[in-house]
């Protein structure tokens, strides 16, 4: 069997003020899987994400991406393999045109010419934004900028796509377009979200995180229909939303 896309083992982390944000996190994401990471604010989800590409370093435990341990000597390759898409797309878009934004990462790794042009076109086509290649990012809608931010990561050919609250501030049409894009990507995805209907539609499996630990892992539908689990970890479905579809 191939290496898992992501393996987190007994990960622990405390902030300088002594707050323990991660308390023995174990996580295994299979190659090609779409996995939702759920939990209340303050559960440690964002802290976990920042360990996946070495922005934060653990007090104990290990993170491996396709078998490569996140460590000082491997940070450049790890950050290519872990495509982190931030909650605000404007944190990732800073070049004059969409095409230049998408080209930035591969160009920094030495890609140029026709190969770079093809890589940019492939990434933009994957998010249905190829026609916007020459447009300025600030002329795009928020949902379009979100998709371009994903393209900037896809251009690096990552092992895993990590998305932090990808539906925040999206209108219903943009949200629907984003779901279609993500469902069509043949890449491992770890999705942190408070949007539980989105998690159900996109991710067959979900984890619940609380107080720095993974407290449940099951098919997403099972988690969303477990009233005791949902109540214990402050997860609430939208009013009148029935995850069973009945």
Neighbours of 182 (CB within 10 A): 22
Q: Are 11 and 56 in contact (CB under 8 A)?
A: no
Q: Please, what are the domains in the chain?
A: 6-88+159-232 (3.40.50.300)
Task: Tell me the C-alpha distance between 125 and 227, whole Å.
Answer: 41
User: Structure pTM?
Assistant: 0.94
Closest among 183, 213, 182 to 37, alpha carbons compared? 213
User: How many angstroms separate the first and last alpha carbons of the chain?
Assistant: 38
Element (H, E) at 80: helix 75-81
Neighbours of 187 (CB within 10 A): 18
Closest among 166, 162, 164 to 33, alpha carbons compared? 162
DSSP 234: T
Q: How far are the Cα atoms of 51, 117, 244 from residue 14, in angstroms, in the given order?
A: 12, 43, 39
DSSP 72: G
Per-residue model confidence as pLDDT tens digits over 68-104? 999 989 999 999 999 999 999 999 999 999 999 999 9
Q: If you search the block for the tokens 């559960």, which residue do you land on?
A: 43
Per-residue model confidence as pLDDT tens digits over 140-178? 999 999 999 999 999 999 999 999 999 999 999 999 999
Per-residue model confidence as pLDDT tens digits over 109-146? 999 999 999 999 999 999 999 999 999 999 999 999 99
The CA-based angle 224-229-230, given to 5 degrees, is 55
Per-residue pLDDT, 175: 96
Q: Are 188 and 5 in contact (CB under 8 A)?
A: yes
Is 3's pLDDT higher than 80?
no
* Collapsed DSSP state (helix, strand, coil) of residue 204: coil
Task: Tell me the C-alpha distance between 191 and 7, whole Å.
Answer: 15
pLDDT category of residue 1 using cuts at 50, 70 and 90: very low
Backbone angles phi, psi at 43, to 5 degrees: -75, -20
């Amino acid at each position: 069997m191939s290496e898992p896309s992501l393996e987190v083992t007994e990960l622990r982390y405390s902030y300088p003020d002594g707050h323990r944000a991660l308390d023995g996190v174990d996580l295994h994401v299979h190659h090609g899987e779409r996995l939702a990471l759920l939990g209340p604010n303050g559960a440690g989800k964002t802290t976990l994400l920042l360990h996946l590409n070495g922005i934060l370093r653990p007090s104990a435990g290990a993170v491996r991406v396709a078998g490569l341990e996140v460590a000082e000597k491997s940070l450049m390759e790890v950050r290519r393999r872990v495509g982190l898409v931030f909650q605000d797309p404007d944190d990732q878009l800073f070049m004059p045109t969409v095409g230049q934004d998408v080209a930035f990462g591969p160009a920094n790794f030495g890609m140029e010419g026709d190969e770079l042009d093809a890589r940019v076109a492939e990434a933009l086509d994957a998010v249905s934004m190829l026609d916007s290649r020459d447009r300025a990012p600030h002329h795009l809608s928020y949902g379009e900028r979100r998709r371009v931010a994903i393209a900037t990561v896809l251009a690096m050919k990552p092992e895993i796509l990590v998305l932090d609250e990808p539906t925040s501030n999206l209108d219903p049409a943009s949200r629907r377009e984003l779901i279609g894009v993500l469902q069509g990507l043949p890449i491992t995805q770890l999705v942190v979200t408070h949007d539980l209907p989105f998690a159900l539609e996109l991710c067959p499996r979900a984890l619940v995180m609380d107080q720095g630990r993974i407290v449940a892992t099951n098919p997403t539908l099972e988690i969303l229909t477990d009233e005791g689990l949902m109540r214990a970890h402050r997860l609430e479905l939208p009013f009148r939303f029935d995850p069973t579809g009945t």
